[in-house]
Amino acid sequence: MADEILAHGITREVHRQNAVLRVMAKHPELCFILLSVFVTFLTNYGSSFKSKPLVIPARMPEPLFPAVSSVLDLYLGDLRPLVEMLHQEDLIFVMYYAPWCAKSNTAVSQFLRAAQYLDGQVKFVAVNCWYPEGMCRKQYKFLLYPVFFAYHRDNDGYRYMGIERAEFMVKFLEDLVYPLTLLTSADQVKDFLTEHDTVVVGHFDFNDSPHPPGFKQFYYASMRVVEHDPFQPVKFGVVTDYTLALYCHMKQSSDIVFLRINNSTLKYPLPNNITSTNLVRWIFSTRHQLPVRWLVPLGMKSLMLSQEINKGPAVIMFHRASPLSSASQTVAVFKDLALRYNQCPGDKMAADFSRRWLTRSIYNIIKHAKILNFCKEYKKGRLFHTDTFRCCISTCHNCSHCLRESKLNVCEICQFRSGPQRSSVCSFEKSNVVDNYSVQPPLPSNSCQNSIASYDVSSYTSVCCKWCNKNVSYTEFLTPPFSSTIIPSWGSEGRRPTDRYVIESLENLPRKLCGRLTFQKSQQAYPSAIIPDFASTSLPWEFTGHGCRVNQTLSFFTLDSQNHWMIAKSLGLDVSQAHLSPVVVGFDKENEKQVILQEKFSKKTTASFVLNFTKGFLPRHLRTVSSDRQEACGSTPSLCVTELTTDTFQAAVSQPKDVVILVYAGWCGFCLAVSHTFLHLAHYFHTSPNITFARINGETNDLPWEFSMESYPTIIFFPAYREADSVAFPDNIEPSLPNLIRFVLQHATFTTRLHLAADVCSATCVQENLELCRHTLQALRSKSQRLRTHLSALHSNQTRSKPSHYHAAVMKILRKRVEDIQSEISEVKNLKDFLEKSRGRRLDRKTVEKVLSEKMRRKDLSVGR
């Protein structure tokens, strides 16, 4: 039977299969449709059947910069256009970025702005150096993005390691474009030094050859130092004049010296081996403390601040830095103070520098003001007349070898002062500039050559020299006689400037000057604070030379309030108004002291601040964080403890109540673990009006020394009226709720204890205490009885024998004790009566207070006293 069924089943199965086959044979198109459905299914969803995990490549890079902009964006990482450009452009500034990098993306706008500002002078290129298929990625390996490099045409690249803000990039690039300064007089050298604090001066004789030995390396080094410290670079000066070189302790060509404002002059030790690397190494190994150092932490792991702070006490000024302008009054005042503070009495040089610095900064500020005025008018549309700048003087110089060669050296000196001086047609400072040229040996020129003397966009001297053959009649713009005197023969009238710098300057000057101002303004890097007593020289008499007398090193630093507000914030300072009034802090690591200048910043207040800081007269500044959470306290949560700050701490502690404070640190795990217990403790006492609870973050709020904790969490108890008798919860006891309650009760004033007793004493408690009272009463009575017996015995003794002092004293004490016990008895009795009245019910606080009011007053009064 079973077999039959089985066989039947099989046959049915066979039948069904046959049916399918038959249908298929009948309709071959059906078969085809099925097959095609299967194939499409496979191709569409086949991937999900694969056991291998699916992988997709990263998306293709897209340009980061707008297509039409002054930045060339090589977003596929191709380096070839850049290489081509290297041969054409003087200076290229390159940003290597990664498209996923947040920092690269934020740098884009600043890079663009710098590019717009320097359009025409420096070429800006951005390269995606992440794209794995790109040439850049294959060639270079960067550990972070973005990376900036400036490439000089006939030189290698300089890495920019500064702040990623347009104004700082521009300063860096300008320093690279004009790394050398031609120095022509002793005065100029001194001014140069006072302005830049540390300068390297090289003597190169261009008469011998257009490329004196070592000059090229000197030039490279001047750029390399900009790379090392783009904020306060060591400036490089060139002296061509022999006598001036001698003045600077340089005897021959290719001598290099390092001038330092508050230290001796150093001579480069390897005169025969001038390489840029050696030079740079030498400079940074000998460059010591600057009068005022501008610290620029870059947000990378560094020890910069700590190194300075470890050296000793420091005065730090937070102000709005303006890298593109030397006209900041705050910096001028601060450096003036630093120079004066360290000025030793006998040191004439120091006094000279100090005086020079003042005049120099006054000059800078006046110039800045003039430009401001000028640009205001320029904007109004009052066009600027180029005529006023035509101020050229030709001078003929006669020299021995020139004569021999029957040649005449003729120089045309043109000086152009900044635009605003419209009225002065030609403000030639003969003594200053022209004399130098007339005295010095002839400039090395066989054709007209321009040399730039102390380049500045707003004040500028060009010298154009020519060899003139004696025999040839002197060209139209020269006049004999051939004496080495200045011939102011050619006025400015009717003359056109000849050299391209002058022309360019004349045409671009207004645009440039005012463009710079707008640029600074848009970048908010604009000197704005005005110091009322900026130019005053009357300082506290002790101040000048104080550093020399007390022989204590005091460093002066500045920090930029815009880029380094976080450091100010961490010191508990508000620098949001630093552009109006800089914030000055004294920081003394060794004595753990931090003080701040409370008055408005001025020369006088800062000077006396520095004096008082060194003398230790100033009170410690206590950082505090105004707690926003405190407001949240009143509203939603059911349990809350007041957050104190440094400012509210003293008031909270000295209120006529018991105060319990938890000092904690936000990061401390153990504090988190105790906070709920503390809240519970506060809740436990919440019905007692005589005790309050509060918390304070001991890390963000500085407390007076006696309350500065060495570890967290710490619970401090301040008894009412006696906050000086504060006690901390011992750190060898578990801070559990019962322990804390016990601790509080132990130290609490009488009233608090009374309130608590009334609140928590249960029915059992009343019963037990009643019993206790009875026992105590009994004990006290018997004790009192004993004393009385003793007393009477003594008394009878005394009456019998001769009275002695000893006896009298003993009796007095005994009487006192009896009295005490008597009063105790009455108190206990009071309590007992009261407890009996309550008949096993809970106690009513008011009644308790009434019963013990006498005692309460007595207790608290004695404490209060």
Partner 1 sequence: MTSAPGGSSLFLCFLTTVFVVCCTNAIEHGKIDINHYRNVVKNMFYHAYDGYINHAYPYDELRPLTCDGHDTWGSYSLTLIDALDTLAVMGNHTEFHRVTNLLIDRSASFFDMDINVSVFETNIRVVGGLLSAHLMMRRTGMVVEPGWPCSGPLLHLAETIARKLLPAFDTETGMPFGTVNLRHGVPKGETPVTCTAGVGTFIVEFGSLSRLTGDPVFEKVAMRAIRALWKFRSPIGLLGNHIDVKTGKWTALDSGIGGGVDSYFEYLVKGSFMFNIPELLEMFREYEKQIVSHLKRDDWYMWANMKKGGITLPLFTSLDAYWPGIQSMLGDLDSAMKTIHNFHQVWKQFGSTPEYYNIPKAEVHQGREGYPLRPELIESIVYLYRATQDPYLLKAGVDIVEAIEHIARTSCGYATVKDVRDHRLENRMESFFLAETTKYLYLLFDPENFLHNNGSHGELIHTPNGDCVLEAGGYVYNTEAHPIDLAAVHCCSAQKKQEEETLQNFHDNLNLLELLDIAQDKESRIIGKKLKKKKQASSTDRQERAETGREGNNESEKAPEGKSEERENSVTQPEGPGRSNDRDHQEAASTHLSTEESKNNENTATSPQPDIKLTIVKSQPKTPDKLPPRDAVDLNGADSQTTASSKVTIQINNDVTVENGHQKPSFDLAQQILDLFSSVTTQGKEDEVRQPSVTELYKTLANVSVVYISKPSIMRCPAQPFHSRISVWGEMFADEDIPLE
Show contacts with partner 1 in window 90-149 (CB under 8 A). 98-103, 105, 130, 132, 141-145
Closer to partner 1 at the Cβ: 657 or 753? Answer: 753
Minimum CB–partner distance for residue 614 and partner 1 (Å)? 15
Q: Which of 172, 502, 735, 784 binds partner 1 (CB under 8 A)?
A: 735
Report the nearest approach of partner 1 to the CB of residue 750 (Å). Answer: 7
| 583 in Cβ contact with 568 (< 8 Å) | yes
Should residue 412 be labelled a site residue for partner 1 when binding is judged by CB under 8 A? no
**Alpha-carbon distance 676 to 682, whole Å?**
10
Binding of partner 1 at residue 726 (CB under 8 A)?
A: yes
Cβ atoms 554, 316 nearer than 8 A: no
Question: Chain centroid to CA 338: how far?
Answer: 20
Q: Smallest distance, Å, CB 334 to partner 1?
A: 19
Task: Kindly determine how many residues on this chain lie close enough to bind partner 1 according to the rule CB under 8 A.
Answer: 151
Q: How far is the CB of 782 from partner 1 (least distance, A)?
A: 14
Among 10, 33, 580, 760, binds partner 1 (CB under 8 A): 760
Q: CB-wise, 177 or 761, nearer to partner 1?
A: 761
Compute the distance between CA of residue 19 and CA of residue 248 in angstroms, rounded to an integer. 114
According to DSSP, the residues that pair with 643 across neighbouring strands are 695
Residues 161-220 binding partner 1 (CB under 8 A) are 165
Choices 153-161, 296-304, 532-540, 782-790 (CB under 8 A): range interacting with partner 1: 296-304
576 part of the interface to partner 1, by CB under 8 A: yes
CA distance 585 to 553: 16
With contacts defined by CB under 8 A, name the span among 203-211, 400-408, 462-470, 758-766 that binds partner 1.
Answer: 758-766
The tokens describing 676, both together, are 């709920």
Nearest residue (CB) to partner 1, 451 versus 563 = 563
Asked if 738 interacts with partner 1 (CB under 8 A), we say yes
From candidates 150, 333, 691, 852, binder to partner 1 by CB under 8 A: 852
Q: What residues have CB less than 8 Å from 247, skipping those under 6 apart?
A: 186, 189
CB 825 within 8 A of CB 784: yes
Binding of residue 836 to partner 1 (CB under 8 A):
no
In the list 240, 713, 720, 784, the residue contacting partner 1 (rule: CB under 8 A) is 713
Judged by CB under 8 A, the stretch of 181-189, 250-258, 293-301, 350-358 that binds partner 1 is: 293-301
Tokens of 135: 């040439």
CB of 661 to partner 1, least distance (A): 11
Q: Which of residues 19-48 bind partner 1 (CB under 8 A)?
A: 47-48
Instruction: Answer yes or no whether residue 863 interacts with partner 1 by CB under 8 A.
Output: no
Here's the x/- map for partner 1, 366-385, by CB under 8 A: it reads as --------------------
Closer residue to partner 1, CB minimum distance, 471 or 764:
764
Q: For residues 413 and 565, give the distance between their C-alpha atoms in angstroms, rounded to a whole number.
A: 48
- Give the Cα-Cα-Cα angle 853, 856, 858 (nearest 5 degrees): 110
For 524, residues 6+ apart whose C-beta sits below 8 A from its C-beta are 320, 562
Please pick, from the candidates 670, 722, 819, 833, the single residue that binds partner 1 as defined by CB under 8 A: 670
Q: Say which amino acid occupies 5.
A: I
Contact residue for partner 1 among 666, 803, 840, 864 (CB under 8 A): 666
Within 8 A by CB and 6+ apart from 95, the residues are 104, 107, 111, 124, 125, 126, 127, 146, 147, 148
Residue 124's SS3 state is: strand
Strand partners, 257: 201, 267
Closest CB to partner 1 among 453 and 766? 766
CB-CB neighbours of 16 under 10 Å: 10
Residues 6+ apart with CB under 8 A from 505: 416, 457, 460
Interface pick for partner 1 out of 51, 272, 285, 638 (rule CB under 8 A): 638
Displacement of CA 759 from its chain's centroid (Å): 55
Nearer to partner 1, 527 or 698 (CB): 698
CA 88 to chain centre: 40
Nearest to 373 by CA among 418, 329, 328: 418
Torsion of CA 576, 582, 588, 591, to 10 degrees: -70
Q: Which of 739, 788, 807, 845 touches partner 1 by CB under 8 A?
A: 739
In angstroms, give the least distance from the CB of 261 to partner 1. Answer: 18
What binding mask, one character per residue, do residues 235-254 give for partner 1 by CB under 8 A, x or -?
A: --------------------
How many of the other CB atoms lie within 10 Å of CB of 126? 27
- Using CB under 8 A, which residues numbered 599 to 628 contact partner 1? 620, 623
Judged by beta carbon, residue 113 or residue 340, the one nearer partner 1 is 113
Residues 360, 362, 363, 364: is their CA dihedral positive or negative?
A: positive
Structure tokens at 570: 């961490």
Q: Among 590, 631, 802, 805, which residue interacts with partner 1 (rule: CB under 8 A)?
A: 590
Q: Is 508 in the site for partner 1 (CB under 8 A)?
A: no
CB of 721 to partner 1, least distance (A): 16
**Rg of the chain, C-alpha, whole Å:** 44
The footprint of partner 1 on residues 806-835 (CB under 8 A) is 824, 827-828, 831
Q: Where are the alpha helices (DSSP H) in 457-564?
A: 500-522, 546-550
Kind of pairing, strands 460-469 and 255-260? unpaired
483 lies in the site for partner 1, by CB under 8 A? no
Structural contact between residues 343 and 608, judged by C-beta atoms closer than 8 angstroms: no
Q: Which stretch binds partner 1 (CB under 8 A): 346-354, 513-521, 571-579, 645-653?
A: 571-579
Residues 6 or more apart whose CB falls under 8 angstroms from that of 507 comprise: 386
**Least distance (Å) from partner 1 to the CB of residue 93?**
20
Q: How far apart are CA 350 and CA 343, in angstroms?
A: 6
Shortest gap between Cβ of 395 and partner 1 (angstroms)? 50
* Rounded Cα–Cα distance for residues 395 and 391 (Å): 13
Q: Which is nearer to partner 1, 19 or 144 (CB)?
A: 144
**Which amino acid, residue 82?**
L
Q: Which is nearer to partner 1, 1 or 143 (CB)?
A: 143
Residue 586, exposed/middle/buried by CB under 10 A (0-12, 13-18, 19+)?
buried
Query: 591, 799, 801, 862: which one contacts partner 1 (CB under 8 A)?
Result: 591
Query: Would you call 753 helix, strand, or coil by DSSP?
Result: helix
Position 311 contacts partner 1 (CB under 8 A):
yes
* Candidates 336-344, 464-472, 765-773, 808-816; binding stretch for partner 1 (CB under 8 A): 765-773
Per DSSP bridges, beta strands 486-487 and 180-183 are: unpaired
C-alpha dihedral (44, 46, 52, 57), degrees to nearest 10: -20
Q: Which is nearer to partner 1, 408 or 831 (CB)?
A: 831
> Which tokens go with 116?
């717009």
Taking CB under 8 A as the rule, does residue 750 contact partner 1? yes
C-beta of 449 vs 630, nearer to partner 1: 630
Pick out residues in 682-711 that bind partner 1 (CB under 8 A): 683, 695, 697-699, 705-711
Q: Which is nearer to partner 1, 101 or 810 (CB)?
A: 101
Least distance in angstroms from the C-beta of 39 to partner 1: 20
CB of 224 to partner 1, least distance (A): 24
How distant, in Å, are the alpha carbons of 69, 181, 208, 415 from that of 442? Answer: 47, 19, 12, 19
Should residue 58 be labelled a site residue for partner 1 when binding is judged by CB under 8 A?
yes
To partner 1, the closest distance from the beta carbon of 845 in angstroms equals 13
